[in-house]
Structure 1
């Protein structure tokens, strides 16, 4: 059985569950290769066998066959693109455990940059978030040991550990001249709560931090609670997808469907460019047609970009914020013998208008930069197009999207952005203001036609 995944190119200290995507399994009966192809394959396999035997026999340290085969598979998969990889028994078992909704760790998504572990974003209500980790922070040491020279996987493994066990990390924030500082944390069980909500005046604010099996039920509960709390005073919703790294495609489709009555949500195309799957909305709008503003930023990736792109193309919501991450590919998890698996990119996905957001992202209708708080230089965030080996975009836009194209990247901002959903969240304030203004405009009384003015002059 295969499973499919669409999520951002981040490893997480909680190793956020790789989330299955609804897509066709790979063919069980591949086409027969031609004799010429067989000959090429045979030469390639002979070369691999020759290298394998020489390394096994002559390398300075003794390596087991399993170690060499695993390294060869890892190298083959990771050379394809940033999202394909090999899962050994421990990784695959851990992934299966994660899908139950509980993980052990600190609660941050991270990547590797210039030898350091770089924070993509902290996860709400986790040790990392409470400790004040910010997007762009660089972790330079773990329990006194430098991280340089470690792979991302090795660094993540060192930061993980038994629940309740303390850990010290050295953090550098902003420009290189800034002195690093030590952060002491305690590992916790991270429970998935991907949807949170509250009333912002007469506006319903819904923050979605990931797309797991709990997202759609959480969304339905949030909307129901807001409708009961605000009643007829409810004028619209702000759906916050900022710093959402993605997740289950079927949950992304379900969330988008919750706001749509009809029309396409997303489609996928495989190697030959042929549409492999298409997901359309069903009748029924959970929000009863009220206006929606969707907040996005550079941390909005994959499944969150599917929702944003669908609601933008279907003219159901106004997108506000900054350019999204730009991950428009689908991964398939294929189980292998001995409880191992491989994750391989098998398709691109496309918004209702037929555009691919791979390496481009989704452009908001209204660009609003986040407010800056501390006087600390903030390094610019990475996008999908910055990742080594990232897939190209096969549908470059012929016309400008609904929103204005992003301007040239500005110099690093001299401050850190406000926390999404906080009192200092300028983007949220702008979204609420837009909904309030729209509501007031709709309430204006109809005016009678203006009568022509008759001017009399003395003759």
Structure 2
């Protein structure tokens, strides 16, 4: 009797699960039919003739961008272009861009590139490229508009927080060669290291600079400048964080896939022997920059100075498709040792200091943040 009741209960649960699954699938099929109907209506009745292939590309991209600002569809042409650019030398403007509320937003201009020299800033909204309105276009479409032959010019119109009128920049495309690490000895006793991106060689270059500066007997400490650094390789963020830590968690990722749930820890050995460390960040500090700043802040290993960072705390994977295109899909989120997510929040500085200049030159009189950091060392 008990066995019969259990079997009956199992049958009811199985039936309910099947009905729920059937209902969900039926709703999905109805939506697919509806999409086909809308596409047919557009094809027959829209005022202008529509390329259905491009419409489908837009629909796919719209689906991905409804998830978050960083997921996107790449056509075969866009995917090929992206693979060319990741080689480390390419023709372009030198800006990292993303989407926010359907508008193309500058995450960060890269140092000494046409974009940074022209005066583009992190947080600028690109509203027009040459004579083409950008609003309503996908991120990849906007990126395609910005591409062009080296030496050719482009006019970019942006909206900036706190500025009433639109700003127009005329920029000449150049071959972009990213040199990620620069260093200087300030006042003969402060090691200044500027990191502009996290590429394959960044950690080795940082290590070399630290070892070189460590030879200075009267060295008080270090300033690590991560302003306008849009990020890069997670592996490099972990290695660079590890240089300043003796132990403890650096970062973790959480995902729906168990294989993507990971934690990374520091190994014993602080390369700077516990010397004072000040990290400079601003709104253009994103992704890997936020991992380094956030981890060292949580471990109370560094003083974070500047402005709140960008808030890009997610992991994207490039997934190739059958048509030789690809999708960039967010597969996980970063979490700091404190358990807090960086995503859409960023890292808050311990000492908030507004920018005075975007030049980021050693000892620049107009660089409020750098000068404030130097004053902290000098009491």
Distance apart, 1:253 and its partner CA: 0.9
1:356 aligns with 2:341: yes
Q: Which residue of 1 aligns with 2:4?
A: none
The one of 32, 36, 39 equivalent to 1:55 is 39
For residue 104 of structure 1, give the secondary structure of its aligned residue in structure 2. strand
> 2:325 aligned to 337, 340, 353, which one?
340
* Aligned partner of 1:167 among 149, 154, 167: 154
After TM superposition, the structure 1 stretch with the greater mean CA deviation from structure 2, 67-76 or 301-310, is 67-76
CA spacing shift, 1:273–1:327, aligned 2, 3 Å: farther
Q: Which structure 2 residues correspond to residues 22-421 of structure 1 after superposition, within 5 A? A: 35=18, 36-56=20-40, 58-60=44-46, 63=50, 66-110=53-97, 119-135=106-122, 141-147=128-134, 150-170=137-157, 178=165, 183-201=169-187, 202-227=189-214, 231-271=216-256, 276-371=261-356, 417-421=357-361
* Structure with more contact order per residue of length (Cα contacts < 8 Å, sep ≥ 6): 1
Q: Is the CA contact (8 Å cut-off) linking 1:193 and 1:214 kept in structure 2?
A: no
Extract unaligned runs of 5+ from structure 2.
1-16
Do the aligned partners of residues 75 and 227 (structure 1) sit closer, same or farther apart at CA in structure 2, a change above 3 Å counting? same
Quick check: 2:250–2:264 contact (8 Å CA) kept in 1? Answer: yes
Deviation of 1:277 after TM superposition, in Å, equals: 0.2
Taking structure 1 as the reference length, the TM-score comes to: 0.69
Shift of 1:249: 1.3
**Residues 40 and 290 of structure 1: CA distance in aligned 2, closer, same or farther (over 3 Å):** same
Judge conservation of contact 2:61–2:138 (CA < 8 Å) in 1: no
SS in 1 for 2:217: helix
CA contact (8 A) 2:108 2:122 kept: yes
For residues 161 and 421 of structure 1, the distance between their equivalents in structure 2, rounded to whole angstroms, comes to: 30
Partners of 1:331 and 1:345 within 8 A in 2: yes
1:161-193 deviation digits (Å, cap 9, x = unpaired): 011223344566676654x66543321111122
In structure 2, what is the equivalent of residue 376 of structure 1?
none
3-state DSSP class of the match of 1:129? helix
Going from structure 1 to structure 2, the CA distance change for 1:85 and 1:153 (only over 3 Å counts) comes to closer
Hey, what's the Cα distance between the residues in 1 that align with 2:260 and 2:101? 38
* Contact 1:101-1:191 within 8 A present in 2 as well: yes
Q: CA deviation at 1:67?
A: 3.2
Which secondary structure state, in structure 1, belongs to the residue aligned with residue 29 of structure 2? helix
- Give the TM-score taking structure 2 as reference length: 0.82
Which consecutive residues of structure 1, in runs of 5 or more, have no partner in the other structure?
A: 1-33, 372-416, 438-459
Is the Cα–Cα contact under 8 Å of residues 115 and 147 in structure 1 kept in the other structure?
no
> Which moved further from structure 2: 121-130 or 133-142?
133-142
Alpha-carbon distance in structure 2 between the residues aligned to 1:139 and 1:331? 23
How many residue pairs end up in the alignment? 357
Question: Does the 8 Å CA contact 1:235/1:436 hold for their aligned counterparts?
Answer: no
- Distance in 2 separating the partners of 1:280 and 1:302: 18
What is the Cα deviation at residue 203 of structure 1? 0.9
Matched residue SS, 1:242: coil
Q: CA deviation at 1:283?
A: 2.3
